A and B are shown apart, each in its own frame.
Chain A
Amino acid sequence: MKLKSRFTEMELREHFIEIYDITNDLAIYKEVPVFSRSVDLVIHEKSTLSLTAIEFKLHNWKRAISQVQKVALCFDYLYICVPKPKTTISCDKIIADCKLSGIGLYFYDSIKDIFEKTIEGIKKGIIWEVQKKQIINYLEAN
């Protein structure tokens, strides 16, 4: 179901989950505690054991980048998901910052009601496997 014209961050996330193509190999978890934070959405790809963290924000996309970077050491891929800005300048600014930080980007286009994967997340070079394993253990237990 399409989102209302005014929606909350939680509704954006729920809509993302609704639309997201969840195969048997994928498991999705909301509000996963990592360090002193809570990650909005975690996608666990079981065959490759990869973990993806996604932060959702309605307005402050810079904060979304900063938040997802704080858990960077435990995830293979980092993404942010924000409503698509109306102007090209704003879109380009977000795209540039995400590219610079190696962070993937989903834009939610409310007119088309789709999530565009505008930038593919880059697999992270440095991951602390011990901490990642703890997160997987937590996910499997929940």
Chain B
Amino acid sequence: MEDRLRIIRYNTGTDKKAIVHFKRCFDAIIFNATIVAHSGASIADLVSMHKRKYIIDPQTHILQQDITAITSNNKQDGDIKNSVLRYLSKLPDALSSIITSQRRPLTISEIEPHIDSLVNSVYNFQTTYVQEHIEKKDYDKYLKFAKLEPEPRLVIAPYFVIKNKYSEDEIDSWLKLNHEALQKTIKLNKERGNLYPVAAQIVLDKAVLISEGFTFKIKCTYECENYEYIFIWVDDFNTFETEIRYMKAFSDLLAALNSIGKKPLMAYGGYESIILCNSGSPYRLYGVAQSVGYGEYRPITPVGGGMPVNKYYFFPLHQRMRFDEALAILTDQGYFSMEKSNKEHADDYYNYICDCNQCRTVIGQDIDNFIKYNESIPFKITTKNGIISRNRPTPYAELIAAFHFLYCKDNEWRQVFTKTYDQLIKELIENYKLYLPEKAQQIVEWCKVYGRKDN
């Protein structure tokens, strides 16, 4: 069980309640550096009181981002977000000042001369920033006395995105810089007494995966000693949904990293990643980070979130869907028919769909209570077609959906630890054939790519 890292991602203050409730279901909590820079004191409280192992994603890709990705209104002339400004102030001035004063991304030749200071500042931020906030707290002396001080679970080296628009030479240069940043982080960590495991992070556009020779380049870049983990973040990527060529390319990437003895972790992932943490998987992942109730897959350049809608995680399909989509499946399966009593339908639901604590609390003995997952408030918005009404989930509905989602995740991890890979694959295909036949073929293709070769 220790061979896999179950990581929960903290995105906003509203995630706290769910994270606290499920803290024992995860091995570490991960924060973006900008959130830590902005809310250091409350992060210090959270990790001190609830989850002692934390990870900070150093988000050095910010240095490569267009200004619109870091302004509060996503416009060229908008103000840079406070959280980004605070984090930039912790990075070398020679780099951050280009962003703040010239409002443009940095080039590789601008970053390269300052890589030592960048490695230092990123390492220091990850290892001391939260601690500094804890030291200002009254409870610090008790944590020290009880030897319960929170600490980084691992430290991530500075990393840069490999974008599809880059030429081959540019890709080589960024990979070289990634390699250098990793080597220097390993060296620095050694000088500081090897207190924390070091991790690399590979961030790339999906199309780069299929570029010729890329896997070999990755292997060469990351084949070095004294570190174990590699986070992978492919832009808005879900292997259950993507084309077969990307599925295959991603499996090649995992095989390459496995072959050099590294343990890949998905920085954003759903069940398609969790299942690969099973020890029988031919393409091994060793951990997955996921958010509370959303964000299993995320674009590198942030986009607007759209209007919130009621969602429900359909456990047998391991897929989050709109409430009405889940409802349609349950209706097709006869869960609201008159042939059985509502209690009998509720029992069927627990037997075949989900028997998590949240569903038992919400549904009780009456399947019609499933509607609580759809509790919503109507609101009006102005569009080009005039004023229209929409529903948005109530805070209660959001909370129970998030709790249900996290119970499902806990259940998935338990299944991945206790069932064989073949069993997991078989159940996955069977469930898609039963509940979502129109997507079953895609899942069968996935299983062909990620299945065991001896089957």
Separation of A90 and B331 alpha carbons in the complex (Å)? 33
* In the complex with contacts A36-B390, A131-B374, A8-B331 CB distance below 8 A: no
- Kindly state the separation between the CA atoms of A53 and B307 in the bound complex, as whole angstroms: 22
* Contact in complex: B389, A128 (CB < 8 Å): no
Among B309, B374, B388, which residue has its beta carbon within 8 angstroms of that of A31?
A: B388
Interface residues of B in 325-373 (CB under 8 A from A): 327-328, 331, 336-337, 368, 371
Contact A31:B331 (CB < 8 A) given known A130-B368, A138-B378: no
Would you give the 0/1 interface string for A59-76, flagging 1 where the beta carbon is closer than 8 Å to chain B? Answer: 000000000001111000
Question: Contacts A134-B371, A138-B378 given: A32-B389 contact, CB under 8 Å?
Answer: yes
**Contact assessment for A73 and B331 in the assembled complex, using a CB-CB cutoff below 8 Å:** yes
User: Which residue of chain A is the closest to B307 with respect to CB atoms?
Assistant: A36
Residues from chain A with a CB closer than 8 A to the CB of B328 are: 72-73
Contact B385 A126 (CB under 8 A): no
Query: Chain B: which residue is nearest A74 at the CB level?
Result: B324
Whether, in the assembled complex, A38 has its beta carbon less than 8 Å from a beta carbon of chain B, the answer is yes
Interface check A33, CB cutoff 8 A:
yes
Contact A31 B389 (CB under 8 A): yes
Task: Contacts A9-B385, A73-B324, A130-B371 given; indicate if A38 touches B331 (C-beta within 8 A).
Answer: no
In the assembled complex, which residues on chain A have CB atoms less than 8 Å from the CB atom of B324? 35-37, 70-71, 73
Looking at chain B's contact residues, the main secondary structure is mixed
A43 at the interface (CB under 8 A from B): no
Q: Does B323 contact A (CB under 8 A)?
A: yes
| Tally of B interface residues using CB under 8 Å | 23
Q: A10-B385, A131-B371, A138-B378 are in contact. Are A36 and B391 (CB under 8 A)?
A: yes
Chain A residues, CB < 8 A from B331: 73, 126, 128
List the B residue with the shortest CB-CB distance to A29.
B389
The CA of A6 and the CA of B323, in the complex, are separated in Å by 37
Cβ-defined contact, A33 with B385, below 8 A: no
* Distance of A49 Cα from B118 Cα, bound (Å): 68
Q: Determine which of A38, A126, A128 lies in contact with B390 in the assembled complex, contact meaning CB atoms within 8 Å.
A: A38
B322–A36 touching, CB < 8 Å: yes
Question: CB of B305 within 8 A of chain A?
Answer: no
A34 at the interface (CB under 8 A from B): yes
B336 touches A128 (CB 8 A): yes
Report Cα–Cα, A99/B426, bound state, in Å: 38
How many residues belonging to A are interface residues under a CB distance threshold of 8 Å? 21
Docked Cα-Cα span, A46 to B391, in Å, equals: 24
CA distance A126 to B387 in the complex (A): 31
Q: Which residues of B contact A38 (CB under 8 A)?
A: 388-390
How far is A9 from B383 in the complex, measured between Cα atoms in Å?
Answer: 13
| Contacting residue for A35 out of B307, B374, B386, CB 8 A | B374
State the Cβ distance, B31 to closest chain A Cβ, in Å.
30
Which A residues lie within 8 Å of B336 (CB)? 126, 128
Give the contacts of A38-52 with B (CB-CB under 8 A): 38
| Complex interface: chain B residues within 8 A of A130 (CB) | 368, 371
B310 at interface by CB-CB < 8 Å: yes
B368 touches A73 (CB 8 A): no
Task: State the CA gap A14–B230 with chains docked (Å).
Answer: 59
Residues of B within 8 A of A70 (CB): 324
Cβ < 8 Å to B, chain A residues 1-15: 8-10
Q: Which residue of B lies closest to A69 (CB)?
A: B328
Question: How many Å lie between the Cα of A28 and that of B389 in the bound state?
Answer: 15
Interface centre among B307, B368, B387 (most CB of A within 10 A): B368
Hey, which chain B residues are within 8 Å of A34, CB to CB? 391
Chain A residues, Cβ within 8 Å of B310: 35-36
Closest to B328 in A: A73
**Docked CA distance A31–B380 (Å):** 9
Which residues 369-408 of B have a CB within 8 angstroms of A?
371, 374, 376, 378, 385-391
Chain A hits for B322, CB < 8 A: 35-36
A119 CA to B88 CA in the complex, in Å? Answer: 63
Chain B residues numbered 82-123 whose CB sits less than 8 Å from any CB in chain A: none
Whether the Cβ atoms of B389 and A33 lie closer than 8 Å is: yes
Q: How far is the CA of A34 from the CA of B324 in the complex (A)?
A: 9
A126-B332 Cα distance, complex, nearest whole Å:
9
Question: Could you say which residues of chain A place their CB within 8 Å of the CB of B374?
Answer: 35, 131
- Other-chain contact of A73, B327, B337, B378 (Cβ < 8 Å): B327
Instruction: Write the chain A residue with the least CB distance to B330.
Output: A128
Kindly provide the distance from the CB of A93 to the nearest chain B CB, expressed in whole angstroms: 23
Inter-chain CA distance A134–B324, complex, in Å, is: 14
Whole-angstrom distance between the Cβ of A139 and the nearest chain B Cβ: 11
Task: Say how far B453's CB is from chain A's closest CB, in angstroms.
Answer: 41
Residues of B within 8 A of A32 (CB): 389
Contact A33 B391 (CB under 8 A): yes
- Inter-chain contacts of B378 with A (CB < 8 A): 33, 138
Minimum C-beta distance from B340 to chain A (A): 14
4 smallest A-B Cβ distances: which pairs?
A: A36-B309, A35-B324, A33-B391, A33-B389
Known: A33-B390, A37-B390, A72-B328. 11 other contacts (CB 8 A): A8-B385, A10-B386, A31-B387, A33-B389, A35-B323, A35-B324, A35-B374, A36-B323, A36-B324, A38-B389, A128-B331
